[in-house]
């Protein structure tokens, strides 16, 4: 009989297929099983957040003058009160001297008015004294006292304007490039000369669904609230950031458009490597960057756990294969809780002590008999993630 190409293929498949369902020698297929049992799980919820600097300052000129010097390296970090820009000082120094002279003049005239008042008051008890002279002396003395106060105020304003010719860093942080270079005239209307962004620590802001926040508050309300959780970050390259943070603010309003509420965590952002004065330094967190935010419980909880690789999914949901006392396989629908990449927390569908297939899953189907054996032990270190 002549075999067609399709007949040959069918014969080959009929010979190969039983090998996937049976062990060598025709016996039941071998599978690795583990016992569903209580496991210590660190509860974790994951969100998308954005890094934000705590302080952000736009440097602007407070007076109109020529920009004499720029005294920083763009892109480096500056310390609080560092001198960054120096403006032309001559006109402002002259204004200070002029106001000092005005204060001295009015002070001298006030001293003379005090003498005239004292003389008029001493003559009032004699025939030569007149009340009108005393009244005039009092008015003149008070007028000059007011003029002294006005001259002192103008002197103070001149001194403040002179101080504005030195623009210093109000906060520590990384400074941007300058928008105006030396030799140009700057004024309050010139706009920001540069921007300083604080670097350590940083804020991380992340929106949380109102329902999720309610669940978090129920979960940790009796354990210390925000003090019962730590915030970890996963960076853009997938690595975990090596410093933990704490939630320090919860927005009082739920967004009407997204039904989310904003949370904020504070986290350290130390220098990477060795810092060299006058040179840019590297830090892991950058203002404005997106990160994954992991909110973890401080203490692990006990929950029924199985290896994550034992869980399969289809259109109806999650399920596992369970081996009964007669070594028969049963498909069991389950509900997952807070799970980790390595461990699945079973909220329903399994009981403590039931045997779950974790190895050789591709060789089993509901109702067949298998030859169970211990599976490879899973890693002991677990960190929770949202299922």
Q: How far apart are CA 234 and CA 45, in angstroms?
A: 12
Q: What confidence score (pLDDT) does residue 173 get?
A: 93
Q: Of the ranges 205-209, 214-218, 243-247, 257-261, which one carries the lowest mean pLDDT score?
A: 214-218
Which is more confidently placed, 301 or 363?
363
pLDDT above 90 covers a percentage of the chain that reads 37
**CATH architecture, range 24-39+302-374:** Beta Barrel (2.40)
- DSSP lists the bridge partners of residue 342 as none
The three-state DSSP-derived secondary structure of the chain is CCCCHHHHHHHHHHHHCHHHHCCCCCCCCEEEEEECEEEEECCEEEEEEEEEECCEEEECCCCCEEEEEECCCCCCEECCCCEEEEECCHHHHHHHHHHHHHHHHHHHHHHHHHHHHHHHHHHCCCCCCCHHHHHHHHHHHHHHHHHHHHHHHHHHHHHHHHHCCEEECCCCEEECCCCCCCCCEECHHHCCCEEEECCCCEEEEEEEEHHHHHHHHHHHHHHCHHHHEEEEEECCCCCECCCCEEEEEECCCCCCCCCEEEEEEEECCCEECCCCCCCCCEECCCCCCEEEEEEEECCCEEEEEEEHHHCEEECCEEEEEEECCCCEEEEEECEECCECCCEEEEEECCCCCCEEEEECHHHCCCCCECEEEECCCCCCCCCCECC
Which is more confidently placed, 143 or 379?
143
Q: What confidence score (pLDDT) does residue 386 get?
A: 46
Q: Of the ranges 77-86, 161-170, 354-363, which one carries the lowest mean pLDDT score?
A: 354-363
Contact 237, 285 (CB under 8 A): no
Q: How far apart are CA 323 and CA 117, in angstroms?
A: 113
For the stretch 127-139, pLDDT in tens is: 655 777 777 778 9
For the stretch 100-137, pLDDT in tens is: 999 999 999 889 888 888 877 777 667 655 777 777 77
Q: Where residue 71 falls among pLDDT bands split at 50, 70, 90? A: very high
The hierarchical CATH code for the domain 44-85+168-299 is 2.40.30.170
Q: What confidence score (pLDDT) does residue 12 get?
A: 39
Residues of each domain in the chain carrying CATH 2.40.30.170: 44-85+168-299
User: Per mean pLDDT, which of 15-19, 148-152, 357-361 is the most reliable?
Assistant: 148-152
Residues of each domain in the chain carrying CATH 2.40.420.20: 24-39+302-374
Question: Once rounded to an integer, what is the mean pLDDT over residues 356-361?
Answer: 86
For the stretch 340-351, pLDDT in tens is: 667 778 888 888
Q: What confidence score (pLDDT) does residue 377 get?
A: 64
Q: Where residue 384 falls among pLDDT bands split at 50, 70, 90? A: very low
To the nearest whole number, what is the mean pLDDT of the chain?
82
Q: Evaluate if residue 268 carries a pLDDT over 70.
A: yes
The hierarchical CATH code for the domain 90-163 is 1.10.287
Q: What confidence score (pLDDT) does residue 349 get?
A: 85
Question: Once rounded to an integer, what is the mean pLDDT over residues 188-201?
Answer: 93
Give Cα separations from 122 to 126, 134, 249, 301, 372 (angstroms).
8, 9, 70, 92, 121
Contact 363, 31 (CB under 8 A): yes
Question: Once rounded to an integer, what is the mean pLDDT over residues 313-329?
Answer: 87
Residues of each domain in the chain carrying CATH 1.10.287: 90-163
Which is more confidently placed, 378 or 37?
37
Tokens at residue 77, please? Answer: 């970090």
Question: Once rounded to an integer, what is the mean pLDDT over residues 74-99?
Answer: 94
């Amino acid at each position: 009989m002549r075999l067609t190409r399709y007949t040959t293929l069918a014969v080959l498949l009929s010979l190969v297929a039983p090998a996937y369902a049976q062990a060598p020698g025709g016996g039941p297929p071998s599978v690795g099983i583990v016992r569903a049992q209580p496991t210590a799980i660190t509860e974790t919820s994951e969100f998308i957040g954005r890094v934000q600097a705590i302080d952000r300052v736009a440097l602007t000129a407070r007076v109109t003058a020529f920009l004499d010097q720029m005294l920083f390296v763009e892109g480096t970090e500056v310390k609080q009160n560092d001198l960054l820009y120096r403006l032309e000082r001559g006109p402002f120094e002259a204004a200070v001297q002029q106001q000092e002279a005005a204060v001295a003049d009015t002070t001298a005239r006030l001293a003379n008015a005090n003498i005239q008042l004292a003389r008029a008051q001493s003559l009032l008890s004699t025939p030569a004294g007149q009340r009108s002279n005393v009244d005039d002396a009092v008015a003149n003395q008070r007028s000059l006292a007011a003029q002294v106060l006005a001259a002192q105020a103008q002197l103070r304003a001149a001194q403040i304007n002179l101080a504005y010719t030195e623009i210093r860093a109000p906060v520590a942080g990384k400074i941007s490039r300058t928008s105006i270079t030396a030799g140009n005239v700057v004024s309050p209307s010139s706009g920001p000369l540069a921007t300083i962004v604080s670097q350590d620590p940083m804020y991380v802001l992340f929106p949380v669904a109102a329902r999720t926040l309610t669940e978090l508050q129920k979960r940790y309300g009796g354990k210390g609230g925000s003090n019962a959780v730590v915030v970890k970050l996963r960076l853009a390259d997938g690595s975990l950031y090596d410093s933990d943070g704490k939630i320090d603010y919860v927005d009082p309003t739920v967004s009407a458009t997204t039904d989310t509420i904003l949370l904020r965590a504070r986290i350290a952002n130390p220098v990477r490597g060795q810092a060299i004065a006058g040179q840019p330094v590297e830090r892991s967190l950058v203002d404005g960057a997106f990160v994954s935010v992991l909110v973890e419980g401080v203490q692990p909880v006990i929950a029924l756990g199985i290896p994550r690789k034992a869980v399969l999914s289809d259109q109806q949901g999650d399920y596992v294969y369970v081996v009964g006392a007669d070594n028969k396989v049963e498909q069991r629908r389950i509900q997952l809780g807070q799970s980790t990449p390595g461990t699945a927390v079973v909220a329903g569908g399994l009981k403590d002590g039931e045997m779950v297939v974790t190895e050789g899953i591709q060789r089993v189907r509901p109702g067949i008999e298998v030859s169970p054996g211990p599976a490879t032990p899973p890693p002991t270190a677990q960190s929770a993630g949202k299922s």
